[in-house]
Structure 1
């Protein structure tokens, strides 16, 4: 099942710190901008395969001024009718780390709450 990400909005599962990403897609090319919470500005760019799996590179600037870069593989899952991305990420550089996060799709009106 292919998923088209254009216009979809995601946040950390359960609300997180208020950071939201809005995705765009053209063919297999996918990109997003995100901000909120401790993130002043961030971007992701990558590709989407036929199963809807995203392979992304990301950069962000935190409120502290720290600049972070890394990559992730996001696998779509459905939970109770909600699209959730299982994000396996790797951060590069001085604060290198790895982990797993979950992003949930949210409706536009949820962004204001």
Structure 2
């Protein structure tokens, strides 16, 4: 499965927290910026494997001033609405150390105009 992430936007599935990330891609290099809701600013950087799996590191600054850093492996799946769904296995470092699994849903044109 070859996936081009350039220009795609994702947000946490089943969440209305307002955080949306816009992805960019050049070859296997992938990066994104995100903000909204409780996140003042965030970014991810990493690489895309031949199967579309993303290996990323991330940082973000929250409204309260907390600085969060971590890593994730995002595995693409087909979403119910036709867009991509990323299964995100993440790990945070430092004073906010935690692990978990989240899902990021692609923001489709229909969702933007609807």
TM-score between both structures, scaled by the size of structure 2: 0.93
**What stretches of structure 1 of length at least 5 have no aligned partner?**
none
Query: What is the number of equivalent residue pairs in this alignment?
Result: 113
RMSD of aligned C-alpha atoms? 1.6
Q: Which residue matches 2:52?
A: 52
Q: Answer yes or no: is 1:88 the counterpart of 2:89.
A: yes
TM-score between both structures, scaled by the size of structure 1: 0.94
Moved more, 101-110 or 44-53: 101-110
Q: Which residue matches 2:15?
A: 15
Secondary structure of the corresponding residue to residue 94 of structure 1: helix
CA contact (8 A) 2:31 2:43 kept: yes
CA distance in 2, matches of 1:44, 1:84: 17
Shift of 1:14: 1.9
Question: After superposition, what is the alpha-carbon deviation per residue over 1:49-93, rounded to whole angstroms, capped at 9, x for unaligned?
Answer: 000000000000000100000000000000222210000000000
CA contact (8 A) 1:5 1:30 kept: yes
Secondary structure of the corresponding residue to residue 14 of structure 2: helix
Shift of 1:112: 8.1
Q: Which residue matches 1:73?
A: 73
Give structure 1 regions of 4+ aligned residues with deviation exceeding 4 angstroms. none
